[in-house]
Amino acid sequence: MKKINPPLSAFARLYCNFFGHDFKISKSVTNHIHEYTCKHCAIEMTDTANGFLAQLTPRFKETNDYLAQIHKRRRRKNYATAS
Ligand SMILES: [Zn+2]
């Protein structure tokens, strides 16, 4: 199996193993679902529909893109009915 992850510095990995990841929101999918990236080792995580944090796989990315589209469309609709 080929690894597609970018090479991480040994120090960043060690740091996260020791202190834990330091996640920053990299993308807001909906009001409740976000994607996070670790500031140190750049690992990506996402909120899942059942409220857990999971590693951001291509499959989750696809789901999130889909959710974001629905969310955007819904927000636009709400604005249209509110005004
Ligand atoms: Zn990390």
For 10-64, what is each residue's pLDDT tens digit?
888 899 999 999 999 999 999 999 999 999 999 999 999 888 999 999 999 999 9
CA dist 63 and 23 (Å) reads: 20
Ligand 1 centroid distance, CA of 23 (Å): 7
Q: What's the predicted TM-score (pTM) here?
A: 0.76
Ligand 1 centroid distance, CA of 65 (Å): 23
Ligand 1 centroid distance, CA of 6 (Å): 13
Ligand 1 centroid distance, CA of 43 (Å): 6
Q: Is the pLDDT of residue 81 over 80?
A: no
Backbone φ/ψ region at 11: left (φ over 0), alpha (ψ -120 to 50), beta: alpha
Ligand 1 centroid distance, CA of 30 (Å): 24
